[in-house]
Amino acid sequence: MEYLDFCDKVKLKLQEMVDEGATVRIQKVLKNNNIVRYAAVISEKDNNISPSIYLENFYGDYINGQSLSSVCREIIQVHEKYKDGLSLNIDEYFDYNCVKDKLYLKLINRKKNEEFLKNIPYRAVYDLALIAYIALDEANNGQATITVTNRNLDIWKVSKEEMFEAAFLNASENAPPKLEKMTSLMRKLLKEKCFDMEMDETEEDIDSVIDMIEENEGNVMYVLSNNNRINGAYCMIYEEYLRKFAESINSDLFILPSSIHEVLLMPMSCGITKKELECMVRSINSSDLSPGEVLSDNVYEFYRESGILWENNDE
């Protein structure tokens, strides 16, 4: 069965299974980097905003033999799990005073999102676009968001500058930049993975491996993101933060766009050329990242004296 046929069948089956008065629709969603996804949305009388439940994984389960009824029961379970965690109703959505404290930042690729950006207020940063979104969940974990559009600005009767000022403030206060050595982050993530998967390796085993890497490490690399590591690549725009860090290591910086969630910082004094780093970034983007997480193939330069230059953009 083709994917779109599966989506149609899910819609019909869900409509049979949901409570009376609820409606089901399949929503076509244009996501980051011009990726089209399809989601089931179950709308209920008492809930003005409902979670979008993307269907790719459910389609895989169906192809692998799971019944349509079983798949739809799982979709309903996901809906029930997340519907009450959305912290905004439709009336609040149209009131800027209700949403301004829920605005946050995200960096995406401009060229890959040309169509998407036609209706989105953004700031240009090199080949990237800084956009804003409304976090619908209190934890701002990236699972429930609405991108701010030009129509939102018209409804709210606020300027792009005012909206971005609020998003900058929220990001700075609630999702501030966090910088870690790559090896320190590897150490933490490996320990968490071993614990979650009940692997045989001990913390001492992991420490031994990472210590060996650090001892032989000729080029120190740092990971820059926000404190929850969700959509944190925007932290590269904090010029003063980068400047202080660059001064602390006495080197200008290469900035590698690792993904939409983080960037990597490497001292220019490392001896590796920008061209070599761009080859590494392109390789990672093509083999290790999902298409929706790719930020850019380019490597940027940060100089302590000049900092990052914003490009003029009045769109």
Dist CA 147 CA 138 (whole Å): 16
Sign of CA dihedral 71, 74, 79, 80: positive
Which tens digits make up the pLDDT trace of 219-243? 578 999 999 899 999 999 999 999 9
Per the listing, tokens 């080859």 go with 279
Determine the pLDDT at residue 133.
96
As averages over each run of 10 residues, the pLDDT of the chain (315 residues) reads: 95 94 94 94 82 94 96 95 70 88 96 94 94 79 81 96 97 93 56 46 50 52 92 94 92 92 90 86 88 94 77 45
Determine the pLDDT at residue 182.
74
Domain ranges in the chain? 3-83, 90-174, 177-302
Residue type, 61: D
> Which residues, 6+ apart, have CB-to-CB distance to 207 below 8 Å?
187
Structure tokens at 134: 């409304």
Determine the pLDDT at residue 208.
54
Dist CA 32 CA 265 (whole Å): 24
Q: How are the residues of the chain apportioned to helix, strand and coil, as percentages rounded to the nearest 5?
A: 45, 20, 30
Per DSSP, the three-state class of 240 is helix
Determine the pLDDT at residue 6.
97
- Torsions phi, psi for 131 (to 5 deg): -120, 175
Determine the pLDDT at residue 173.
94
Which tens digits make up the pLDDT trace of 28-42? 999 999 999 999 999
Dist CA 286 CA 290 (whole Å): 8
Determine the pLDDT at residue 38.
97
Distance from the Cα of residue 307 to its chain's centroid: 25
Strands 23-31 and 35-43: antiparallel
Dist CA 187 CA 175 (whole Å): 22
Determine the pLDDT at residue 141.
55
The size of the chain, in residues, is 315
Per DSSP, the three-state class of 181 is strand
Per DSSP, the three-state class of 230 is coil
Closest to 167 (Cα-Cα) out of 103, 229, 112, 216: 103
